[in-house]
């Protein structure tokens, strides 16, 4: 017969239950020596309604108060009694689960939530030493071997592995949040490294600064494929890993958010003519490709190639064509109403920073090009499951539209795929605050991206499409998106505003756990959510291949490293050419 994981003696007894509410328990401590070893986050076992059951609580407050009272009177002692001070020790914990030594045919089981509430005067024990090791060991034992995601070890017991459910971690959206230098990028690299060991993983990383490039270096043990959004230096001879997002992939609202000035009195006319001409041009493409079936149901938002120069020609004709009156030419219906709109569109076409969108290679105008590109991003197997997409050369003002279009395209493909052939996909959104801001702070361009990602956050789970949001400023990230995340890996957060965001996302009973966030060491995290049985503090494992995000040793390097004059000169030329490749 399996021995109980929790075996207590009198030396483990901390006290008795003094009061209970729906989520918390107060313990009257009678072992003052043991109290000195209690820390915030310590696990307490409370005897349940049977000998086989313990309610598990996590310590959130320890207090000692002093009162004065008369000593016990001794008839033989002096009658002048002096008041003595007596300490009163109390401990408060939040109920988190139920442990049973026997549960039907199973032994040593733990489940979240309490089936019953502690009874007054029940004995309470501290879980430490061998009891703690055995208890931590069973937390991950309930997960099947093919869903175990090892993230590190428990801070409370470094010999026990911190195991999460990989299924629940990804399928219900997750967030990795922490201040700069807290170990956030290493946490991302660790999770990607674990996923890469699976046969057919499918994770697409939005890399805003190019810091995950080492993960794609097969010579250094890399396991991912790397792609880059085309920069100005890639327009003439693009490499195989360069991605273009042609303008015709954008839907009507995304395109107009970049080139339409809503304050212009002619904005409705400009949007109307744009919509009409784009729909006609896409229809002509379908005619040329003999896609009569598609033409019956396509819309202006359908991703169908068209020639943007022909669009400018049609808009220019509208803008210059005069009307015919009774006595001769008169001002045309659209004359001079599209001038600013055309100028803004031409400015985008002439700006090489937007070449990835408005100057794609000729092959990107082919009807079959889109399927090949999507296949490149969604395929998996033979080391192609983890894809790192470098967005570092995308202009900041258009970054939301680019990320939003990219995400929408992949999600739409997943949406229209048959349920029986659909395989799960996760978008890892690094530096999410750059393109997923709080809606009240978003401009017209950012709102387009927000709409896409918020839709994924609300509906994606049904279609096997999830988000892993990564940010150093959770207070700047869309509340809608964060509220849909059911798992959190919270590293050190020193800003009170950011801490309050995490606190609001937690159940009331666990909110106080966030008070340790500013005290976490580098690489330590608070793991909460559906993917783990016990909200706990863990020490993350170090990934084998680390991202290029290490904090520089300013003082040491100032004392030993001389600035490279040639490198500075070369950087100036890169700035002028808007390309890192020279």
Q: What is the pLDDT of residues 217-271, one digit of tens each?
A: 988 889 999 999 988 888 888 888 899 999 999 989 888 888 888 888 888 999 9
Q: Is the pLDDT of residue 326 over 80?
A: no
Judgement on whether residues 264 and 233 belong to the same structural domain of the protein:
no
Whether 274 is covered by a domain: the verdict is yes
Give residues with Cβ within 8 angstroms of 255, minimum separation 6: 247, 274, 278
Q: What is the pTM of this model?
A: 0.85
pLDDT of residue 103: 81
Q: Can you give the C-alpha Rg of the chain in angstroms?
A: 31
User: pLDDT tens for residues 494-550?
Assistant: 888 888 888 888 776 677 777 788 888 889 999 988 888 888 889 999 999 989 876
Q: Does residue 92 sit in the same domain as residue 187?
A: no
pLDDT at 280 exceeding the cut of 90: yes
pLDDT digits (tens, 9 = 90+) for 547-577: 987 677 888 888 898 888 888 888 888 777 7
Q: What is the CATH number of the domain that holds 233?
A: 3.40.50.300
511 located within any domain: yes
Distance of CA 66 to the CA centre of its chain: 47
Mean pLDDT across 114-120: 84
In a domain, 271, yes or no: yes
**pLDDT tens readout for residues 26-77:** 999 988 888 888 887 888 999 988 888 999 998 888 888 776 666 666 555 5
The count of structural domains within the chain is 3
What pLDDT is recorded for position 509? 64
- Regarding whether 241 and 259 lie in a shared domain, the answer is no
User: What are the strands, taking DSSP E only, across 104-230?
Assistant: 106-112, 123-126, 148-154, 161-165, 174-177, 203-207, 225-229
Q: Are residues 386 and 527 in the same domain?
A: yes
Least confident piece of the model among 42-51, 79-88, 384-393? 79-88
Structure-token pair, residue 455: 């839709």
Confidence (pLDDT) at 80: 61
How far apart, in whole angstroms, are the C-alpha atoms of residue 349 and residue 59?
Answer: 61
The answer to whether residue 469 scores a pLDDT higher than 90 is: yes
Indicate the average pLDDT of the chain. 87
User: Are residue 471 and residue 493 in the same domain, yes or no?
Assistant: yes
Q: How far apart are CA 6 and CA 126, in angstroms?
A: 10
* pLDDT for the residue numbered 581: 64
For residues 197 and 265, state if they share a domain.
no
- Enclosing domain of residue 513: 161-246+364-552
If asked whether residues 396 and 544 sit together in one domain, one would say yes
Question: Are 178 and 45 in the same domain?
Answer: no
Which helix (H) or strand (E) segment holds residue 322: the answer is: none
Taking a C-beta distance cutoff of 8 angstroms, is the pair 126, 38 a contact?
yes
Report d(CA 251, CA 304) in Å as an integer: 10
pLDDT above 80 (res 389): yes
pLDDT band at 78 (very low <50, low <70, confident <90, very high): low
H-state helical runs in 121-214: 129-139, 166-171, 184-196
- What is the C-alpha separation between 174 and 513, in angstroms, rounded? 18
pLDDT at 399: 87
Check whether residue 197 and residue 275 sit in a common domain.
Answer: no
Same domain, 499 and 412: yes
Write the pLDDT tens digit of every residue in 397-423: 888 888 988 999 999 999 999 888 889
pLDDT reported for residue 550? 67
Distance CA 146, CA 289 (A): 46
502, part of any domain: yes
pLDDT exceeds 90 at position 489: yes
Q: Are residues 206 and 122 in the same domain?
A: no
pLDDT at 173 over 90: yes
CA 489 to chain centre: 9
Residue 423 CA to residue 463 CA, distance in Å, equals 9
Residue 1 reports pLDDT greater than 60: no
Cα–Cα distance between 419 and 463 in angstroms, integer? Answer: 8
Question: Does residue 102 sit in helix, strand or coil?
Answer: strand
Which of the four pLDDT bands, split at 50, 70 and 90, describes residue 456? Answer: very high
pLDDT of residue 322: 83
Compare 458 and 137 and report the one with higher pLDDT: 458
- Residue identified by tokens 């033979």 is 382
In which region does residue 209 sit, left (phi positive, over 0), alpha (psi from -120 to 50) or beta (all else)?
Answer: alpha
Residue 577 lies in a domain: no
**Percent of residues, the chain, with pLDDT higher than 90:** 42
Last residue of a domain, one of 284, 305, 340: 340
Q: Is residue 330 part of a domain?
A: yes
pLDDT at 458: 92
> 102 with 120, same domain?
yes
Pairing of β 386-390 and β 225-229: parallel
| Residue 114 in domain | yes
Contact 95, 55 (CB under 8 A): yes
Evaluate whether residue 37 is within a structural domain.
yes
């Amino acid at each position: 017969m399996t021995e109980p994981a929790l075996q207590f003696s009198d030396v483990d007894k901390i006290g008795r239950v003094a009061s209970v509410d729906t989520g918390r328990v107060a313990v009257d401590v009678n072992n003052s020596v043991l109290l000195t070893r209690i820390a915030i986050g310590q696990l307490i076992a409370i005897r349940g309604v049977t000998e086989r059951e313990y309610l598990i609580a996590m310590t959130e407050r320890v207090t000692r108060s002093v009162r004065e009272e008369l000593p016990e009177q001794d008839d033989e002692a002096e009658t002048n009694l002096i008041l003595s001070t007596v300490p009163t020790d109390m401990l408060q914990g939040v109920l988190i689960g139920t442990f049973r030594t026997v549960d039907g045919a199973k032994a040593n089981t733990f489940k979240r939530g309490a089936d019953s509430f502690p009874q007054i005067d029940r004995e309470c024990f501290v879980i430490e030493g061998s009891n703690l090791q055995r208890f931590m060991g069973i937390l991950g034992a309930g997960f099947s071997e093919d869903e175990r995601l090892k993230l590190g070890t428990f801070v409370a017991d470094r010999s026990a592995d911190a195991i999460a459910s990989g299924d629940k971690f990804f399928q219900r959206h997750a967030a990795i949040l922490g201040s700069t230098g807290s170990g956030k990028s290493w946490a991302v690299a660790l999770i990607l490294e674990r996923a890469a060991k699976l046969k057919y993983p499918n994770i697409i990383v939005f890399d805003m600064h190019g810091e995950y490039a080492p993960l794609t270096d097969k010579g250094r043990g890399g396991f991912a494929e790397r792609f880059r959004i085309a920069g100005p230096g890639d327009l003439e001879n693009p490499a195989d890993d360069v991605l273009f997002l042609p303008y015709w992939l954008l839907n009507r609202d995304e395109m107009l958010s970049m080139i339409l000035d809503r304050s212009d009195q002619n904005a409705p006319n400009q949007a109307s003519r744009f919509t009409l001409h784009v729909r006609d041009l896409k229809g002509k493409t379908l005619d040329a490709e003999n896609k009569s079936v598609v033409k019956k149901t396509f819309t202006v938002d359908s991703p169908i190639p068209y020639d943007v120069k022909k669009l400018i020609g049609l808009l220019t004709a509208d803008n210059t064509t005069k009307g015919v009156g009774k006595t001769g030419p008169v001002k045309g219906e659209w004359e001079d109403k599209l001038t600013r709109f055309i100028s803004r569109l031409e400015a985008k076409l002439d700006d090489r920073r937007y070449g990835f969108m408005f100057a794609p290679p000729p092959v990107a105008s082919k009807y079959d090009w889109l399927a090949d590109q999507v296949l490149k991003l969604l395929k998996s197997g033979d080391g192609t499951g983890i894809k790192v997409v470098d967005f570092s050369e995308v202009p900041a003002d258009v970054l939301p539209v680019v990320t939003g279009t990219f995400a929408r395209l992949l999600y739409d493909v997943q949406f229209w795929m048959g349920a029986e052939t659909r395989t799960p996909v996760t978008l890892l959104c690094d530096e999410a605050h750059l393109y997923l801001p709080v809606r009240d702070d978003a401009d017209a361009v950012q709102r387009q991206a927000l709409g896409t990602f918020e839709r994924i956050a609300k509906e994606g789970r049904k279609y096997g499409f999830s988000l892993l949001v990564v940010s150093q400023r959770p207070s700047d990230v869309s509340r809608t998106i964060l509220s849909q995340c059911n798992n959190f890996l919270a590293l050190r957060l020193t800003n009170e505003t950011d801490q309050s965001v995490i606190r609001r996302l937690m159940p009331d009973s666990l909110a106080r756990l966030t008070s340790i966030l500013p005290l976490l060491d580098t690489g330590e995290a608070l793991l909460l959510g559906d993917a783990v049985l016990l909200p706990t503090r863990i020490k993350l494992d170090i990934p084998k291949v680390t991202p290029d995000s290490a904090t520089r040793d300013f003082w040491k390097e100032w004392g030993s490293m001389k600035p490279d004059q040639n490198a500075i000169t070369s950087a100036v030329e890169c700035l002028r050419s808007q390309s890192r490749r020279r």
